[in-house]
Amino acid sequence: MLFQLASYFLRLGILGFGGPPAHIALMRRDLVERRKWMTPSQFNDDLATANLLPGPTSTEMAIYAGYRLGGVTGAIVAGVCFILPAFFIVLVLSIWYVSSPNLSVLARLLYAIKPVALALIVSGTFQIGRPVMKGWREWLLLGVSLVALLALAIDVLLLFVVMGLALVFLTKRILAAELPAGLVLPALATADAATAIQVFLTFLKIGFVIYGGGFALVGILQQEVVRGTGWLTGQQLLDGIAIGQSTPGPVFTTATFVGYLAAGLPGAILATVGIFAPAFGFVVLEKRLFSQLKSSEVVQIFLRGVNVAVVATIAVSAAQLARTALIDPWTLAILALALVALMRFKLDPLWLIGGALVIGIIRLLGS
């Protein structure tokens, strides 16, 4: 079974374009309907739990499947095999990005992918925000979050915790003892060691508290590695997002790109390990965490407050990244068309990314 797990998730990691929704749909089709490795109820239970926990949902689903079929060893095999293909692909592109004497080649290739990536971010904001914004409390906290991000430059991870607690307070259900300490302590962690260690601790912290999947990662990285540490410029971050969106496997391997630019190969490895490590721990401890997260109404309210802050963070990030993605009328038109395709016609992002790459290749050949 371990060999079968490794084979399947390596294949999914190589061919799995389209981000978490596509990955989860493929897993449901393959693991439940075709291979019968999981029952529909088992898959749905694991998916519900994964959506309540921090971290990359599709990667956690791979780890859950491995855990059910092969215990802790199976969880490690499934998760690592799903992550590795994307890690190596992004690493190679990161090396090329840094070492290429003519970055204009990559810029032309990414010309159309950048506005498409921006469209995915905007679309993702609505996808996350629609079920979260339930009433006046959420809208109030959204406004406060926007002000805190734009005017106060607050640490985004601290903002997540504050907004979660604020929503609990506003709904008059203050039972702080029920809040899991693991959601608070990592947000307060700091790292003053060498750059490579700082990279690891930064992404470990992100892995512990991030909600909202790959789209939320964009907003956090904008705050942490552009405005915070200055490891990347806004342009470099958008390039990394475009690379992450245009490659198969977990979107969170954008961390590989950031780590490589910040601290070379050690940084790429440590960033990837740091951001994915909490997901393995959460899944292995699933039985203890699941009952608490499922039964506690306070935790549900807290997580909804966190997601309000996630929506604000992504919105601010999208506005900032638009400056480098929308450079002429053509890129503005690509953004508009991509938004219509995603939000009106529900087009698979893979088709948009493929079309954007074709545009980039045509521009490259025509120059």
> Three-state SS string across 32-101, please?
HHHCCCCCHHHHHHHHHHHHHCCCCHHHHHHHHHHHHHHHHHHHHHHHHHHHHHHHHHHHHHHHHHHHCC
**Identity at 130, one-letter amino acid code:** R
Residues 6 or more apart whose Cβ sits within 8 Å of residue 334 = 112, 115, 116, 119, 356, 359
Whole-number Å distance between alpha carbons of 196 and 268: 9
For the question of whether the overall pTM of this predicted structure is more than 0.85, the answer is no
Question: Does residue 138 carry a pLDDT above 70?
Answer: yes
Under the banding of pLDDT at 50, 70 and 90, the label for residue 78 is very high
- pLDDT at residue 214 tops 70: no
Coil, strand or helix at 229: coil
Residue 13 and residue 86 in contact, taking contact as beta carbons nearer than 8 Å = yes
CA atoms of 40 and 132, how far apart (whole Å): 26
CA distance linking residue 118 with residue 322, whole number of Å: 7
150 touches 316 (CB < 8 A): yes
Average pLDDT over residues 197-210: 89
Token pair 């607050």 is found at 154
Q: What is the residue extent of each domain of the chain?
A: 2-83, 102-366
The model's pLDDT over 240-272, given as tens digits with 9 standing for 90+, comes to 877 776 677 787 888 999 999 999 899 999 999
- pLDDT, tens only, 34-65: 899 988 878 877 776 776 677 888 899 899 99
> Which residues, in sequence order, are CB contacts of 314 under 8 Å at separation 6+?
121, 124, 125, 128, 212, 215, 216, 218, 219
Alpha helices in 100-233 (DSSP H): 103-109, 113-132, 136-147, 156-170, 195-209, 213-221
Distance in angstroms between the alpha carbons of the first and the last residue of the chain = 51
Instruction: Write the burial class of residue 323 (CB in 10 Å: 0-12 exposed, 13-18 middle, 19+ buried).
Output: exposed
Q: How far is CA 73 from the centre of its chain?
A: 25
Count CA atoms closer than 13 A to 140's CA, side-chain side.
8
Q: Which residue has the higher pLDDT, 16 or 147?
A: 147
- The answer to whether the beta carbons of residues 86 and 219 sit under 8 Å apart is no
What is the pLDDT at residue 243?
79
Q: Are the C-beta atoms of residues 76 and 64 closer than 8 Å to each other?
A: no
Tell me the pLDDT of the chain averaged across its residues: 80
